[in-house]
Amino acid sequence: MSTTVPPWAAADSYTAALHAGRGPLFLRRADGWLLPLEVERWCARADAVDLDVLDRCEGTVLDVGCGPGRLVAELSARGRTVLGIDVSEAAVDHTIRLGGQALRRSVFDPLPGEGRWDTVLLMDGNIGIGGDPAVLLERASRLLRPRGLLLAETATVDVDERVRVHITDARTATGSPFPWARLGTAALLRHARGWERAGQWTAGGREFLALRSRSASSTAEPAKRAAVTNSQRARKPSGDSPVPNR
C-alpha cells in the first residue's frame, strides 16, 4: 500500500539542488527567516567530522534522512551493514549510485529490521523530522535493539522550536509547508526522557549527542504518533533491503 509523500520531498528546488550538488537552498519559516541547507557538504564525500561520528557507530546502522548518501556510502565501503532511508526519490537514487543501500521511506513507515538496529543516525538536523522530537525519539527507540545507540546532530545554538517551513532556493518556495523542529543539545536532552546520555561533543563547528535507548522498548504509543506519521509518510517502494536477524 502506498503512502503520501511529504510536500517537500518532491520540491523541484530540492531535487535540482541534489542533482547539481550545490545550493543555494533553505528552509523558510512563515516570517521569512531562512535556514541555509548545506547541500554542497551533503553531496560531497564524508569529511573528517562525519568520519569521527561513523567511528562511533556500533553494529548495524540505520541512517534516517540519509539525503544523497555520503554516510551510507562510507559505511558500505567499510563493509558495514547499513541502510539509508529518505522520502526524496532523488536522495535515494543518489545514495544507490554511490554504492549504498537505501529505501524511499519515512521513518514513521514500517521499516526492515525494526527493533534490531544497533545504531540509528539523525545527522544534519534530522532530529527535526516530523516537527515533534519526543515522537521521533520514541520511534527511534522502537527501531533500535535494547540499549541501542542514537547519534544525533543538534543545532549549534540553544534553541527549541517547532515550526512549519518551505523548501526554497531563495527565489521561490515550492510545495506545501511541512512541520520541522530545531533543537540544541540542551533541548534534546530535555526531550530524551528514558534515554541515557552516552556522549556529547563538538567538532568542526558542529554539535553532536549520543544517547542509549532503554533496556526494553516501551509498549505505549505516544498520542501524537498518528498525526505525525500521516504528515511524514513516504511512498512505499516495491521491495525491502534485508537486515540480518540477530
3-state SS, one letter per residue, for the chain: CCCCCCHHHHCHHHHHHHHHCCCCCEEEECCCCEEECCHHHHHCCCCHHHHHHHHCCCCCEEEECCCCCHHHHHHHHCCCCEEEEECCHHHHHHHHHCCCCEEECCCCCCCCCCCCEEEEEECCCHHHHHHCHHHHHHHHHHHEEEEEEEEEEEECCCCEEEEEEEEECCCCEEEEEEEEEEEEHHHHHHHCCCCEEEEEEEECCEEEEEEECCCCCCCCCCCCHHHHHHHHCCCCCCCCCCCCCC
Higher-confidence residue of 95 and 230: namely 95
pLDDT class of 215 with cuts at 50, 70, 90: confident
Tens digits of residue pLDDT in 61-104: 999 999 999 999 999 999 999 999 999 999 999 999 999 999 99
Q: Which pLDDT score, from 0 to 100, does residue 188 have?
A: 98
Q: Which pLDDT score, from 0 to 100, does residue 235 have?
A: 33
Pairing of strands 82-86, 160-168: unpaired
- Sorted by where each starts, the structural domains of the chain and their CATH numbers stand as 46-163+179-232 (3.40.50.150)
Q: Which pLDDT score, from 0 to 100, does residue 125 have?
A: 95
- Among 58, 41, 59, which residue's Cα sits nearest to residue 50? 41
Tens digits of residue pLDDT in 24-70: 999 999 899 999 999 999 999 999 999 999 999 999 999 999 999 99
Q: Which pLDDT score, from 0 to 100, does residue 12 have?
A: 72
| Nine cell digits for residue 141 | 527507540
Poorest-pLDDT segment among 136-140, 172-176, 219-223:
219-223
4 CA to centre of own chain:
18
Q: Which pLDDT score, from 0 to 100, does residue 13 have?
A: 87
